[in-house]
Chain A
C-alpha cells in the first residue's frame, strides 16, 4: 500500500468502505482530529489505536455529554 511510517495511528482508507457500527450496522464518519470512527445517530465513537479500529461496543465512548443541549462535541 502507501508508504506507511512506523507507529502510524491513522486508519487505512480502504477499511472505511467495509466498516459500520457493530450495533446499528450504519455507516460511520472518520474524525481525523480525534482519530475515531463516529456514529452520529447513537452518539458513540470507536477509537483507532495503532491503526487498528476498535469496534467493540463496550470500548466506544459516548460523544454526547447531555442528550438534548448544544450540538457541539467535547473531545
Chain B
C-alpha cells in the first residue's frame, strides 16, 4: 500500500529500534507522530486515511463479511452487549462507530419489548375499567412505543452510515433513531448528554484511543455507562494458535472471495493483533476517568466487553 514511501519500512517494521526511528523522522517530519496500520508503521494522518479507505471499500459487504468471518457469532456478541446494557424506556444512547446500525437496531428492539411488557402489566391491573378507558390508555401509549428512548448513531465514514440508513429504512426503523457523521476523537455533542455510550468493533480503528475515551466520558451524563465491545486477546495457547491460523489463513481469503478485497481484511486481522489486551484497555478506560471498570470475556477472549461508569 504505502510501501513506496519507505522501502526499508516493511523490513524495519519487524526489527524496530533505532533504524526505524531514523527512517521515520527523515520521512515524516510534517506528517505527525508515528503509529501503526496493522503491522505497518505509518503516521497518524496516513493511518486515518487508510482506515477510512478500508471502511469505504467494505461498507456494502460489511454485514455479509461479518457473518462469514464469525459464522454468525458476531450477532450473539452484539445481543449480549445490549442485554448487558439492559436499557429501560427513556434511555438515550450514543452509538459511536455504529455505521451499519447493528447495535442501534438491537437497542430499539430491546426497549420496544420492555415497553410492551410494561404496557401489558399495566393493563392487567386495569381489570375494572370500561372498554372506553382501556382503549384510550392504549392509544396514548401506542404513540410512544419506544417510551422516549433515542439512539444517535455516530460514524466517521459516509459509506458506512449510508448503508446503515438504508438498512434502517428497509427494516422499518425510524422512530428514535438519528445518524450523524462525526469523529469519535472530537464528538459534536454537548457535555453530560447521554445515558449510555457504546462502541462496538470500532475503538480498534480509532487512531487516538485516549481522546475517544475522554470524549466518551465528556458526553455521558453523571451515572452514565460506557460499553465497549471489541476483539481482544486469547490467553489459552492452543485456542490462540487455532485462532491465529484461522485469522491469517482464512479471513483474508474470505475477504477476497466475498468482498474482492484481501488487503482490507488483512488489515482487520493485523489490527486485532495490535490492539491492547483486556487489562491494558481497562487501564486506559480508567485513565479517562471512568469508575468500576471491568471486562467480560466472550469466547475465551476472542472478544471482550469493557464497561465503566461516569460518576
User: Measuring CB to CB, which residues of chain A are less than 8 angstroms from any residue of chain B?
Assistant: 1, 4, 12, 14-15, 18-23, 25, 27, 46, 50-57, 59
Inter-chain CA distance A54–B181, complex, in Å, is 5
User: Cβ of B158: which chain A residues have Cβ within 8 Å of it?
Assistant: 54
Chain B, range 175-208, C-beta contacts under 8 Å to A: 175-176, 178-183, 186-191, 193
Task: Encode B146-164 as 1/0 by CB contact (under 8 A) with A.
Answer: 0000101000101001100
Contact status B188-A14, CB under 8 Å: no
Contact status B182-A56, CB under 8 Å: yes
Q: Which of A15, A22, A50, A54 is B178 in contact with, Cβ under 8 Å? A: A15
Is B174 interfacial (CB 8 A cutoff)? yes
User: Cβ of A18: which chain B residues have Cβ within 8 Å of it?
Assistant: 152, 178, 189-190, 193
Task: Encode B128-159 as 1/0 by CB contact (under 8 A) with A.
Answer: 00000000000000000000001010001010
User: Cβ of B174: which chain A residues have Cβ within 8 Å of it?
Assistant: 1, 4
Q: How far is the CB of A17 from chain B (nearest CB, A)?
A: 9
| Dominant secondary structure of chain B at its interface with chain A | mixed
User: Measuring CB to CB, which residues of chain B are less than 8 angstroms from any residue of chain A?
Assistant: 150, 152, 156, 158, 161-162, 165, 174-176, 178-183, 186-191, 193
Q: How far is the CB of B179 from chain A (nearest CB, A)?
A: 5
Contact status B182-A14, CB under 8 Å: no
- Name the residue on A nearest B187 (C-beta): A22
Contact status A21-B179, CB under 8 Å: no
> Are A51 and B189 also in contact (CB < 8 A) when A1-B174, A15-B152, A18-B152 are?
no
> Are A25 and B182 also in contact (CB < 8 A) when A50-B165, A52-B161, A52-B165 are?
no
Contact status A52-B180, CB under 8 Å: yes
Contact status A21-B188, CB under 8 Å: yes
Inter-chain CA distance A51–B161, complex, in Å, is 11
Closest 8 CB pairs of A and B: A55-B188, A22-B188, A55-B182, A54-B181, A22-B186, A15-B178, A20-B190, A52-B179
Contact status A20-B181, CB under 8 Å: no
User: Cβ of B183: which chain A residues have Cβ within 8 Å of it?
Assistant: 22, 55-56
Contact status A12-B178, CB under 8 Å: yes
User: Cβ of B152: which chain A residues have Cβ within 8 Å of it?
Assistant: 15, 18
Inter-chain CA distance A27–B191, complex, in Å, is 12
Contact status A52-B181, CB under 8 Å: yes
User: Cβ of A55: which chain B residues have Cβ within 8 Å of it?
Assistant: 180-183, 188
Q: How far is the CB of A27 from chain B (nearest CB, A)?
A: 8
Contact status A56-B156, CB under 8 Å: yes
- Name the residue on B nearest A4 (C-beta): B174
